[in-house]
Every structure is written in structure tokens, then in C-alpha cells.
Structure 1
Amino acid sequence: MVKVFRRGGIFRTNETLYYKIILLLMPARVLKVHPADNVIVALRNLAAGEKIEFENTLYELPYAVGAKHKFVTEDRQPGDPITMYGVLVGKATQPIRRGEPITTFNLKHDADTYGLDKKQPYSWQPPNTLAWEGRTFMGYHRADGSVGTRNYWLVVPLVFCENRNVLILKDAFERELGYAQPETYRVQVHELLSLYKAGEMDIAKKMQPFVDESQNQTLNSARHQANRPFKNVDGIKFLTHEMGCGGTRQDSGYLCSLLAGFINNPNVAGATVLSLGCQHLQTDMISAEIKRQNPKFDKPLLLFEQQAGTEYALMSEAVKQTFLGLVDINKLERQPAPLSALTVGLKCGGSDGFSGISANPALGQLSDILVTLGGKTVLAEFPELNGVEQELINRTDDTDKAQKFITLMGDYSAQAEAVGSGFDMNPSPGNIKDGLITDAIKSAGAAKKGGTAPVADVLDYAEPATTPGLNLLCTPGNDVEATTGMAGSGTNVILFTTGLGTPTGNPVCPVVKVSTNTVLKNRMPDVIDFDSGPIIDGEQSIEQNANAMLEYIIKLASGEVITQAERLGQDDFIPWKRGVSL
């Protein structure tokens, strides 16, 4: 066990044969993530000519280094490796002077090769979970033994032809049953229209200032529950998509598995399924897939086919039967459940140079705690595991599962390269601007969400997570395609770290937005749920931040609080069609 003392707390991390994070934060301005690294991270903006003393070595910076960016500890020549997080993250493309920052102009992506022939023994020291033993959350117990953190009714179309009908049902049910979003912006448009009709020449000056109530979480939580006849139904969720027919049969098959996974998700109590009738994805296919995934399936499932009659007959019967289904699931009540009943997704998006230093390691610590307690965690985004594959292979005891991971990664990478979009093209302009210069840097930081526990299982997209422990799930890095896949695999909470800010949510699974820095939390309080910025500021250790986050999750899972994405009605759903998506 390594203990590094710093103002505000002690950082504790597990030592492994392949990876250990040692946060040497002695000067508050910089840090070095791993002793083998030849780059140092700037925690604050550093000016050109500034002198930085670190580990008894003095660095004079020839150029300014922005916060979240890195400068090299030694001269580099073209072809020389750059190492961060203890792994290869790129190679110099031109000379880089000692103290000079790495950029897209002097560094290109590179990563170590991987394979079963390089597999090394792995040992793991679980964290101390004594403080969490016996802790529970209040959840909805399902007949198959799973536990939901929410109690939703789901309405899904088997084909895009039914999207219009789904949206009609959405408007009818949400407005009448108190689940519709507040009409804040409609009121604003109405006021502007009134001024326009009154002949006002300068509408902007006559307009009353808009009042922002979004930061008042208590007030909005109360409004979230007000005027609802079904007090034990957290919502009715309506999905739309552009699939089900006209594409490949393979695409329809993947959609079938995904929708079955959503219906099987422990946060879903029942479902209404709309079918046109002639599409690739048939009602008997979805019924069979639901049972294949979960032989103990015992939820109300309502199937309707439009080509059997008129639109009015279809919709009227769907309204009636869905309403009766809501009456039925409203009888369910929250009951205590162990923390081992949690299946937590681990995701990052809008990442920055602090993601792999604060929020992602905090998620990793939390993941290790839940795994030790017998729970399940799901680490996705295979394009963002580029460069750390060998570590994950080492952590996978089962050789067949390790080979499955290698095959999924290899096939995905080859498919991307075949169309000229390799994993090296993954970092977005926002990522690069905020310090993630290569995909290997981004990936090495992203992988920290998975902690240090052994890999229990490897899953293809929307494959159910049934094995306690850390699960690797093949998804794109694309925020919504990834969170959609996680929910399809059965997560009942998703933790989503972000350094730049993103409103992403999910229809059936609460998505907790975790900021990597407090500046973001203060700038976008209506999007961020939890702040890991105190780690960067030296006010909390990774362990302390993870413990506080787990306390928040227990409240969230118990329905005591809702996420900002839930408050905003951010129900994002995009199935991955298995094409190239980074």
C-alpha cells in the first residue's frame, strides 16, 4: 500500500505488477502520475520562463503550459517514446526540449502491442470495505432476483414506422399523469409572442428577466413528484429509433437484443411494444430474445401490431392496457437491498486532462469497493482502452474471456482502420484542447474508471451482465451509444465523468455526471451531480471522494435524489448499428 501525503488528505492506491498510480502532488502546481512517466502534468496555467522544482529537479519552461497539459522531463528526439500512466502513449515526431509541452505537432499516437503470449500473473489486494458491510439501499425487487433503482414503464417501437405513435402516447401519458417536463421555455415563447402581438418595437427591453430555478434541486425534486397519481411509478419512458427494417438482418438482430435488454433491465417493471407488422424485427423475435436473456422473466409485456387494424384501434387499446399496467406496477414499493444488488456502469465523455487524475480514479476506487462487496460494475468504450489492453488481459484470469476481449478489440480496430478512422483519431477537438493529445493518453486515463480489480467477464454489445465483479463491455466511445449499451446490459446506475460538461442521460438508468474539476461544477451546476474537483485542489483523497460518491449513489438508488439528467428529461437512446463509431 502506497501512502502519499498531501495537504487535505492521504492518497491510497493498490500496487500491481503492471500499474500503480502514485500522485506526487508536492508542489500544488504540477504532478507526475507514475514514476516511469517522462511527462509532468500542469495543475495550473504555467507561464513561459517559469521555473518548476519537482522531485529535487528544476525545470525551466521554454513555452507556456496550460492547465491539464504536460511537459517532458527530458529531451526527446523523433521516434523517442512518451510515457504517461506508466505506459507508452505516443512517440515524438520532432525534437522536444526538456520542459517543452507535448502537442499534436510534436507527438503522434502510439501504443504497445498486446496478446495472450504476453500475459503476466496478476494479484489484487481488495480495498477495506468494513464501513460498507451491511449497508443497503431502498430498491424495487423483481421476480428474477434483480433490484431496480427506479420503477419505470417502457414503451418501445420495433420499427421506426411506429415512432409517431410512440410520441403520441408520450404526449398523452406524460401530460395527464404528471411526468411532462415543466413548460418553462413555452412560457418564455408565449411572453415574447404576447409582446410581438402588442406591437412592441423593442421586445428585448420589454421582456421581464427570466428566473433560473434549475439550481434549486430540492424545489425541482418536489416538483418532479408533484401531481402524480401513481406515486410508486418513477416514470413512463418512450423510446424512438431509426431501425427495425430496411437495414441488414444483423442490425435488426442487434436491435432485438438491445430492446430485450432494456425490457429486462431491473429498473423496468413492464413494457408496451408497438409493431407495424411487416418489418424485419417481429414480435415473436423480441419475445423469444427476452426469454433467452432471462428465463425467469415475469413482467407484464404488452404487444400491439398496427397492421391488424386501424390506427385508432391500436392506440386506444395501447392506452387502456398501458394504463392498467401502470395501476399494477404502482403496487410495488421500495424495500431494502444489499449494495451487491447494484450494477454500475462506468463511462466518461467530454473528457479533459484531469479526467484520468481525479474523477476516473475515484470511479475506479468505487468500482473496487462494489466488486469486493459482490456487486457488478461495467466498463465500456473499447476505443478508449487503446494502449492498456495488456493490463486488462493480465487482469482476466479466464483465458477464453481474455481471448474474447482480444478478438473484440482486434475486430473493432480493424474495422475502423479499414475506413480510415483508426482508434488514433478518437480524441475530439475538445479533448485535445484540454490536454488529451493522443488516444493512448485518453485511453490510459479512461481505463482508470475500472479500478484495479480482476476482470470477471467480457461482454459484447448489450450482452447481459450476470457475473459479479468488473465486466468489460464492447461499446463505442460515443456517449449515447455507450450508455444505451450499458442500460441494455442491465446497469441500474451509470457514473459518467466529464471534464468539459455533457447533459447526456438515459431513459431507464439514472446517469450521474461527475465533474473532474470544480470550475466545471460551478459553471454548469444544472448538469453536474457530483464533483471530483476537490482531488485536484488537494481537499480530498481519491478514497475520500469515492466514499462520498458512494454515499450519494445510495441516496440516488433509494429514490431520495434524482440526477440532473432526470430533472432535465434527458432520455438519450441511440442503438449502435455496429458500424464504425468511435
Structure 2
Amino acid sequence: MHTVLKLHKNDNVIVALQNLKGGETVNYDNESYEIQHDIEAKHKFVTEDLSVGDHVTMYGVLVGKATQPIKRGAQITTFNLKHESDPYSVEKRQPAPAWTPLDVESWKSKTFNGYHRANGSVGTRNYWLVVPLVFCENRNIMIMKDAFERELGYAQPEIYRNQVRDLLAAFHSGNTEALETITLADPSSEKIKISPTHIFQNVDGIKFLTHETGCGGTNQDTDALCDLFAGMIVNPNVAGVTVLSLGCQKSQIDYLKEQILKRDPLFERPILYFDQQTYGTEHTMMSDAIRETFKGIIEINKQTRQPAPISKLTIGLKCGGSDGFSGISANPAIGHLSDIMVSLGGTTLLAEFPELCGVEQELINRCVDEAKAQKFADLMKEYSDQAAAVGATFDMNPSVGNIKDGLITDAIKSAGAAKKGGNAPVADVLNYTEQPTQGGLHLLCTPGNDVLATTGMAASSATIILFTTGLGTPTGNPVTPTVKISTNNKLAEKMPDIIDFSCGKIITGEETIEQNAESLLNWLIGLANGDYLTKAELLGQDDFIPWKRGVNL
């Protein structure tokens, strides 16, 4: 295993792959560097003496400016470096050299068994979705969730209730010593087949969403909620839908119907609407909603998985809880996987616009035409301006955990995050909840916030989300399996209950980026088949948050 790594020939920083001791000398590319002080793995040191105002370059792009002198071999930190990135514009666009698709002959015959929809899309799951048009219906949603999940076999294992039950028994018996020793059962972290206890074998789950909007906010927010639900409803993983409405809220059923047909004119899946104020009593509406939803589930259970080429997958590309290895291992690995998918004619979605800050010009250059480049530039500026208006500039994007593990500026974080997009041309640029209409790599406008981004990708038809992490996060999505990919082996070993796949062998030198990516793609075929679940699915981690534009990074 190498001790250090320089990511681009023009960089003036080097990444520590292992902990370095102050005073030791490390060699790289026929150069020797005396380390000025202890540097933890994932952090970076400079290759030359820097003065105040000097630029720091990483991944071949500007990522920061020195705020004080930095000696050769010294670490860059938030104390001596601030965010800086190059300006971008469509006027400066220089179309990228022609890209040669990868040799994917061995992948062309590979298929997965999915659920085929009338519009030609193919789902990796067959879900019934239940949504409220306004927060007033959240209670009814949760009542339906408890009833359906428990009776139909989709509820989470009762290990937590069992522990409380055991603690209660000890309390009643006066056994105070037992209160210190009663613990949870330890569930297996291995891949688990879809539960045979489901009553409906071809229904992978019933998903219930709640939120805190739909009325009392701006018209923009309430329309955006319907746009979001429309995107989730047309996702190929959704087979049928129940919509609960109070009636008087701003988010109206008619607008939702309009947005569904706008996204999928051939939409043919069953969708049920229940408006509480037209019913009168809650009891009457809930009785109808439960009965008709149950009948709908019977119908979608008649659907079966059928073979489809893997080019029918729509894959979201996301990182969260990132660390200093993210842009070296996991992000480049799923970037190569994205290039394989694009070469096959498949569709990938690169989200998180605040985490493209500093690499905008490269992406503008990679857009297939000037109109798409202009759309990307306009969306970036609009989002940046809206965020700045509420005091949330893009340079605030790195979290405490990011900084602690080596991502000192937003430009450093972004340069590594952009590696998820591989090298393929940008086929199209999508606003939040817009649908891809062709194959290829797409730039999708979402926040960097984990759940807001995964929610947005699901609403733009992602049927699988690849989520890289160096620190660990349980994030999942109600309708799209979310694969947690660790940047290092230590994390995979430490948090096996949330990590699905490790790219750590890239760091140790046991695998190349290409080998690791191909192993992941083979694993994804089994996931798309429904042969096994992601850890987030096993945990019931159904995270959903609508985006209030400009407020979140």
C-alpha cells in the first residue's frame, strides 16, 4: 500500500493514505518531503512553500487560497486555507474532446428481473405508495402504516419492543439488577432474502410518506410538493398509489394529476384519491381508503418480475458523510460504473449542485451542446443566489465531519464529489423532479443534504441510488433502494449494519478502481433482481424530505 498519493500532475498538495509522523520523510514521484507535524490519514500537505494568497490546487483545479504562510510538508487546515474556486461561464466553454465509450461487450448480455411499466421503464421494486397532500393527514397515514405493515408482514422486527417488554417485566418483578443487563438481540448483518412472511409475494412493500407542508406556505412550496409527489408516483418502482387529502389545502388533487400526466402521459398504474372533507367523518374515509388500498395491493401482486437489460436501470449517484478518501476510492469507482452504464445506453443522475462548486467549467465543457451548458450554468447561479439570499453560501457546505476527515473547503469536497460522474459527456441537465428522456449522464439539481438529494433522485426516476460515505450514514429512501458504499474498509468493518459494499480495496491497492466498480455492478444486478435487500431497506430507513428551494445546501 502506498503511503501518500498525488491526484493530478498539476496539484500542489499530496494526500496521506496513512498516518504520518512529524519529522519523517516521505517520497513520492522522485521527490522527498519532510512532514512538518503529525498528519492523519485522509488529510493533505503542500508540496511547496506557500505565501498568503497563493492558490492550492487539487484534482487539477483550484480548491483554496492560503490565508497564512504554509511550509512545504505542512498540512492544509481551516486555519491556513479558505475556499476559492475559478469563475465559470458558458462563454468560456471549450467542448471536451470526443469521449470513447467503454468496451462493454461482456455486459450487453447481462439482465435483471424487474417490473415492466407501460411507458417502457422497468422497476427494481414493486411498491404501493401512500402519500398525504397536506400535513393534516399525517396521523391517518401513520394509522394506515401501522395496520398494513403489521398485518401484511412488512413491519420491522420487534427487537426494540421486545427489549422494552423485558425491561418492563424486570421492573414489575423488582429485579433491578436485570435492568443493567437486558440488551437488544443482535440481528445478522449478512444479506437477507426478501422475507417469506409477506402475504403478497410480488409486492415488495407498502411505503407511507409524511411531511410538514402542503398548506400555510408559499404557492411555490405547495406546487413543489405536488411536483415531488408526481415524480415519486411515476418512479418505475411504484406500482400503485393512495393519496389522502383534507380538501381545503393549497396542494390540490387536480394539480397533482396534471403533474403526473406531464411526466408520464401513458401513466396507467392504479391511483386512489380520498378527500376527507367530502367524506365527513374520518372513520368513513379511512374505511374506504383501507379497503380500496387493500384491493389495489391484490392487483399489483399479480405482476411478476421479467428479464430486462441492465441498461434499463436508472442509477442515482450520491455521496454523504464524505471523507478524504471519497474522491480517491468510492466516488471514482461509481464514476467508472456510471461510464459503463452510459456506454450501454443506460441512465445515471449526478446530483448535489452545491457539491459541484469549483468544477462547473469542466461540466459546462462536457455538456453535449451549449443549450444544456447554459441550463446548468443558470440553475447553478439561481440556486447559489437563492441560498446566499438567506445567508447560506455554497462555501458553507462542508460539515464538521467532512472537515475533520480532510475535506477542508467546499471546492475540495466538490472536486472529489464530481468524480461520481465519471468521464462521459453530460447528456442532459435536469431541474428538481424533472424526468430524464434519454440515456446518458444527467446533472440533476438537488441540494447536497443527504435526504433532500435522495428524495430528488427518486422523484427523477432513479431505480437504484449509489451512496458513497466515508463516515457512515443510515440514509435510505422509501421507493428507491439506496446502496451504502464505504470509502474504506475500516468503516465497513465498524458499521456493517448500514454498509452494503466497500471500496476500501482501492485504498489498500488490492483492487483497481475499474475492478472494484465491476464487482459493484455485478452485485447490483442481484439487488435489482430482488434477490436481497440493501441494509437501509432491512432497517426500514425510509427517509423523505421535500426541498424548500434555496433554504438548504
TM value normalised by structure 2: 0.98
Does residue 487 of the first structure (1) align with residue 449 of the second (2)? no
| Aligned-partner SS, 2:86 | coil
Aligned to 2:132: 157
Matched, 1:273 2:243: yes
Instruction: Name the structure 2 match of 1:251.
Output: 221
* Alpha-carbon distance between aligned partners in 2 of 1:573 and 1:100, rounded to the nearest angstrom: 42
Residue 210 of structure 2 is matched in structure 1 by 240
1:164 partner amino acid: R
Aligned to 1:127: 102
- Whole-angstrom CA distance in 1 between matches of 2:188 and 2:132: 32
Aligned to 2:35: 61
How far apart are 1:208 and its partner, in Å? 4.5
CA displacement 1:419-466 (0-9 Å, x = unmatched): 322111110000000000000000000000000100011111111122
Letter of the aligned partner of 1:443 in structure 2?
S
Structure 1 distance, partners of 2:286, 2:95, is 59
In structure 1, how many angstroms separate the alpha carbons of the residues matched to 2:124 and 2:176? 52
Pick aligned residue for 2:495 from 521, 524, 539: 524
- Which ranges of structure 1 fall in alignment gaps of 5 or more residues? 1-26
Deviation at 1:121, TM superposition (A): 2.4
| In structure 1, distance between residues paired with 2:461 and 2:272 | 21
2:195 to 207, 210, 225: 225
Alpha-carbon distance, 1:519 to partner: 0.1
Q: Assess if the C-alpha contact under 8 Å between 2:160 and 2:184 holds in 1.
A: no
Distance in 1 between residues matched to 2:15 and 2:227, nearest whole Å: 43
1:215 to 1:381, Cα distance in 2 relative to 1, 3 A: same
Deviates more, 1:341-350 or 1:276-285: 276-285
1:117 aligns with 2:91: yes
Q: What displacement does 1:561 show? A: 1.2
Q: Which residue identity is paired with 1:263?
A: I
Q: CA deviation at 1:283?
A: 1.1
1-structure distance, mates of 2:170, 2:535: 32
Question: 2:393 aligned to 398, 415, 422, which one?
Answer: 422
What's the counterpart of residue 145 of structure 2?
170
Other-structure match for 2:282: 311
**Aligned twin of 1:196:** 171
2:159 pairs with 1:187: no
Q: Provide the rounded CA distance (Å) in 2 between the counterparts of 1:238 and 1:564.
A: 19
**What SS does the corresponding residue of 2:226 show, helix, strand or coil?**
helix
Alignment partner of 1:326 out of 274, 297, 300? 297
Is 1:410 the counterpart of 2:381 in the alignment?
yes
Distance in 1 of aligned mates of 2:464 and 2:207: 16
Alignment of 1:386-465 (within 5 A): 386-465=357-436
Cα distance in structure 2, aligned partners of 1:92 and 1:77 = 7
SS in 2 for 1:504: coil
Q: What SS does the aligned partner of 2:91 have?
A: helix
Tell me which amino acid in the other structure corresponds to 1:149. Answer: T
Q: How does 1:496-575 map to 2 (within 5 A)?
A: 496-575=467-546
Q: How many residues align?
A: 551
Structure 2 partner of 1:44: 18
1:417 shift after superposition: 2.1
Measured in 1, the distance between the counterparts of 2:190 and 2:282 equals: 42
Show the counterpart of 2:319: 348
Structure 2: which amino acid aligns with 1:159?
V
Match in the other structure for 2:338? 367
Choose the corresponding residue for 1:88, options 62, 71, 88. Answer: 62
User: What does residue 384 of structure 1 align with?
Assistant: 355
Q: Paired residue for 1:97?
A: 71
The SS at the match of 1:117 is coil
Q: What SS does the corresponding residue of 1:155 show, helix, strand or coil?
A: strand
> 1:155 and 1:306 mapped to 2: Cα distance?
15
How far off is 1:358 after superposition?
0.1
Could you say what the CA RMSD is over the residues aligned between the two structures, in angstroms? 1.0
Cα deviations across residues 310-338 of structure 1 (Å, max 9, x unaligned)? 11110000111101101100000000001
Residue aligning to 1:137: 112
Q: Which amino acid aligns with 1:410?
A: K
* Structure 2 CA distance for aligned equivalents of residues 277 and 385 of structure 1: 40
Structure 1 distance, partners of 2:251, 2:551, is 23
Alpha-carbon separation, structure 2, partners of 1:228 and 1:473? 35
Cα deviation, residue 499, structure 1: 0.1
- Taking the aligned partners of 1:46 and 1:216, their CA distance within structure 2 comes to 35
**Does 2:81 correspond to 1:107?**
yes
Partner Cα separation in structure 1 for residue 272 and residue 500 of structure 2? 35
Distance 1:484 1:213 in 2: 28
Report if the CA contact (8 A) 2:43-2:406 is conserved: yes
In the superposition, the TM-score normalised over structure 1's length comes to: 0.94
Matched residues, percent identical?
65
3-state DSSP of counterpart to 1:116: coil
- Partner letter of residue 258 of structure 2? A
User: How far apart are the structure 1 equivalents of 2:184 and 2:453?
Assistant: 35
CA distance in structure 1 between the partners assigned to 2:162 and 2:236 by the alignment: 37
Q: Secondary structure at the match of 1:165?
A: helix
Shift of 1:411: 1.2
Alignment partner of 1:293 is 2:268:
no
